[in-house]
Amino acid sequence: TREIADLIEKMYGSHYSPAQVSNITKQMIPKVEAYHKRKLSDKFFCVYLDATYLPLRRETFEREAVYIAIGIKPNGHKEVIDYCIA
């Protein structure tokens, strides 16, 4: 939480304490879960699947894959369909 607070301050010039970052994270968990469970409204012309590796700290500090699915609608609009950390 300290690293995130420092990053926010560097990027946006606003200071958040580690406790504030933790509280924001707790409030976001239900929204993230709802995002993963939402119904897709439109058809997609094309779907791209990709992954990138990011350093994540859990029990250890390792690089983990973040898989992402991006859909392109018939009108050309791109939408993140979903993502998964594995």
> Per residue in 37-85, pLDDT tens?
999 877 899 999 999 998 877 777 788 899 999 999 999 999 999 999 8
Question: Which uninterrupted H or E stretch holds 26?
Answer: helix 18-37
Residue 29 CA to residue 76 CA, distance in Å, equals 30
- Looking at residue 49, its pLDDT comes to 96
Q: Domain check: are 3 and 25 in the same one?
A: yes
Residue 53 CA to residue 85 CA, distance in Å, equals 9
Q: For the chain, how many structural domains are there in total?
A: 2
Question: 74: which DSSP letter?
Answer: T
Structural domain boundaries, residue 15: 1-37
Q: Domain check: are 31 and 50 in the same one?
A: no
Regarding pTM above 0.85, the answer is no
Residue 72 CA to residue 77 CA, distance in Å, equals 6
Q: Domain check: are 44 and 86 in the same one?
A: yes
Question: 39: which DSSP letter?
Answer: P
Q: Domain check: are 49 and 69 in the same one?
A: yes
Question: 56: which DSSP letter?
Answer: E
